[in-house]
């Protein structure tokens, strides 16, 4: 689906170490023009990780900067904008007050982005850039994208069009620094201590990451670019901002060795860096080094893609409904399948439930069932049975906790809560405010859960025996009755009985009868 005209919009970001605004004109996925960009270095993250809150003075500063950005938007005649907050707002204990004060003083609503979504926006642009503009590697080689922000670390592995692994850790550069007292950071042993600290954090991933035989490691963002610059690598003149720098892993290791124990003081003295920048850079260098030592890549690439760039680009791509969005979704569904495999679910049954549920969702679009909910049904279908790995008894409860404890790429925290409740109720029970998990959801989330549970149950009923007796289904509507024609030449008594039982709940939720007709083999 194309866009009728060029989109002009602004994307604003409140981060731990910077605030920024990007004003863009979007004409297509490969035609994005930055009209203006402004950023301000801040120290909000230091305050957050020390006190778990933002002070009234800091909130005032945020509002003043945003007022300046609003004026810039007015100067350019920009009326469409999105304001995003990441770690510094997401994790503040007084988050509600921060959001309220920003709205009161600026009239702007903040969309708070959780960490998986934060990494997702960067990955989306990076993946597109590498597959469409930088045909550097063979699709048979695994690539790892390592993203380090002030508050977290994201690790994403893909090969060709398939995503193999995604994990996020709340151990970013600034967060790590603030885990140590000021006198500890001044110690000559600090670089050794922080190396051991980070090694302990990432060591549980070592065995799994080494299985992928990662040949290519991609780093992104301002810190990665700065490190390359300190090593003497420069982007070519007139190159695109998100162009790739090829850096030798040998040169990187030599650079780290030359620092003889990386400290902020050494970075300040040797490269004349500001103290705040050096404090962020030091743990970043160490973490890069530990990851490289773990996976031993043949190639190291540094991309200029930042969160603001990825977010700004993705916003236009999503409005356009570019087919690339659906390619990314398919990758996320593949990742959900990979998560399910870790818990040894019945992959063939999961595939049937996914296939049938999507058919229901496509027919129900005109019944107040948005297209994205169909995508959520595909994710849920693959994760419904993960709890059986722990215990067959109360496996819905176990599935809930597994989903809530897993970062699901491309989903917001609110969407993950919906998925978790769907897997909790998919087999038995009715979504009810008597249950704590359901009660804490918003009204919209509750509607999503009830409808998705009804769909998933109907899809499950068509493979009730997990033996794939039904080859295909057709769904039609006649006189407010949904008619499901199932094609099979086998005895499907169990499926028919299960379908009839679960149809009661479906009718209650969607306000229409649903009937099963058994056709012959197709």
**Cβ pair 228, 299 in contact under 8 A:** no
Query: Which pLDDT belongs to residue 443?
Result: 96
Query: Which pLDDT belongs to residue 237?
Result: 42
pTM: 0.85
What are the structural domains, with CATH classification, of the chain?
7-113 (3.30.420.40), 116-306 (3.30.420.150), 322-519 (1.10.3210.10)
Around 103, how many Cα atoms within 13 Å sit in the side-chain half-sphere?
9
Secondary structure of 323-383 in HEC code, one letter for each residue: HHHHHHHHHHHHHHHHHHHHCCCCHHHHHHHHHHHHHHHHHHHHHCCCHHHHHHHHHHHHH
pLDDT tens digits, 394-448 = 888 999 999 999 888 888 889 999 999 999 999 888 999 999 999 999 999 999 9
Q: Quickly count: other Cβ atoms within 10 Å of residue 30's Cβ.
A: 8
- Nearest alpha carbon to residue 147 among 174, 128, 129, 120: 120
Please state the φ and ψ torsions of residue 473, each to the nearest 5 degrees. -135, 155
Instruction: Give pLDDT < 50 ranges for the chain.
Output: 237-241
Which tokens in the block code for residue 346? Answer: 């019945």
- Nearest alpha carbon to residue 499 among 456, 462, 467: 462
Query: Which pLDDT belongs to residue 244?
Result: 79
Q: Quickly count: other Cβ atoms within 10 Å of residue 35's Cβ.
A: 13
Across 416-487, the runs of DSSP E, i.e. the strands, are: 472-478, 481-487
Query: Which pLDDT belongs to residue 241?
Result: 46
Given the DSSP bridges, would you call strands 299-303 and 244-247 parallel, antiparallel or unpaired? antiparallel
Distance between CA atoms of residues 411 and 379, nearest Å = 10
Which tokens in the block code for residue 518? Answer: 């058994």
Helices 395-404 and 413-425 meet at what angle, rounded to 10?
Answer: 170
Which tokens in the block code for residue 379? Answer: 């994710």
Distance between CA atoms of residues 230 and 278, nearest Å = 12
What is the DSSP code (8-state) at residue 386? Answer: G
The H-assigned helical ranges of 34-78 are: 44-51, 56-75
Given the DSSP bridges, would you call strands 244-247 and 153-159 parallel, antiparallel or unpaired? unpaired
**Cβ pair 20, 40 in contact under 8 A:** yes
Query: Which pLDDT belongs to residue 181?
Result: 66
What is the DSSP code (8-state) at residue 20? Answer: E
Query: Which pLDDT belongs to residue 71?
Result: 96
Spatial CB neighbours of 55, under 8 Å, sequence gap ≥ 6: 47
**Cβ pair 406, 339 in contact under 8 A:** yes
Query: Which pLDDT belongs to residue 352?
Result: 96
């Amino acid at each position: 689906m194309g866009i009728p005209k060029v989109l002009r919009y602004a994307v604003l970001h409140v981060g731990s170490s910077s605030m920024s605004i990007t004003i863009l004109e979007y004409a297509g996925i490969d035609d994005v023009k930055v009209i203006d960009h402004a950023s301000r270095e801040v120290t909000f993250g230091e305050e957050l990780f020390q006190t778990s809150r933002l002070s009234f003075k800091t909130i005032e500063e945020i509002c003043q900067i945003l007022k300046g950005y609003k004026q810039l938007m007015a100067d350019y005649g920009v009326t469409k904008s999105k304001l995003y907050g990441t770690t510094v707002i997401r994790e503040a204990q007084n988050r509600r007050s921060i959001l309220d004060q920003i709205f009161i003083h600026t009239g702007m609503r903040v969309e708070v982005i959780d960490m998986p979504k934060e990494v997702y926006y960067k990955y989306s642009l990076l993946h597109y850039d590498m597959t469409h503009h930088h045909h550097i590697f063979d699709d048979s080689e695994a690539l790892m994208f390592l993203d380090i922000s002030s508050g977290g670390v994201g690790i994403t592995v893909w090969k060709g069009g398939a995503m193999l692994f995604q994990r996020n850790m709340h151990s970013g550069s600034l967060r790590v620094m603030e885990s140590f007292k000021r006198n500890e950071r001044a110690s000559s042993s600090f670089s050794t201590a922080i190396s051991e600290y980070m090694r302990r954090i990432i060591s549980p991933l070592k065995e799994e990451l080494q299985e992928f035989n990662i040949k290519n490691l991609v780093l992104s963002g301002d810190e990665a670019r700065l490190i390359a610059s300190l090593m003497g690598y420069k982007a070519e003149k007139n190159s695109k901002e998100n162009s790739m720098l090829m850096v030798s892993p040998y040169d990187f290791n030599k650079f780290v060795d030359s620092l003889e124990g990386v400290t902020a003081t050494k970075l300040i003295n040797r490269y004349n860096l500001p103290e705040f920048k050096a404090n962020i850079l030091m743990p970043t260098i160490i973490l890069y080094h530990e990851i490289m030592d773990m996976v031993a890549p043949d190639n190291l690439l540094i991309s200029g893609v930042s969160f603001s760039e990825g977010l700004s680009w993705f916003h236009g791509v999503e409005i356009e409904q570019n087919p690339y969005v659906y390619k990314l979704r398919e990758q996320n569904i593949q990742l959900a399948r990979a998560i399910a495999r870790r818990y040894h679910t019945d992959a063939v049954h999961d595939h049937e439930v996914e296939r049938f549920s999507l058919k229901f969702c496509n027919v129900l679009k005109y019944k107040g069932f948005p297209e994205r909910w169909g995508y959520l049904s595909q994710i849920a279908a693959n994760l419904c049975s993960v709890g059986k790995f722990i215990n067959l008894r109360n496996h819905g409860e176990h599935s809930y906790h597994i989903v809530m404890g897993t970062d699901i790429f491309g989903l917001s925290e609110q969407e993950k809560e919906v998925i978790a409740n769907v897997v909790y109720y998919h087999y038995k029970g009715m979504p009810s405010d008597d249950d704590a998990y359901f009660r804490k959801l918003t009204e919209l989330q509750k509607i999503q859960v009830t409808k998705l549970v009804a769909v998933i149950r109907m899809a499950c009923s068509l493979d009730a025996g997990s033996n794939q007796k039904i080859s295909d289904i057709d769904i039609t509507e006649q006189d407010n009755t949904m008619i499901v024609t199932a094609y099979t030449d086998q005895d499907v008594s169990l499926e028919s009985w299960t379908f009839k039982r679960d149809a009661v709940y479906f009718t209650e939720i969607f306000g229409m009868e649903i009937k099963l007709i058994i056709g012959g083999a197709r």
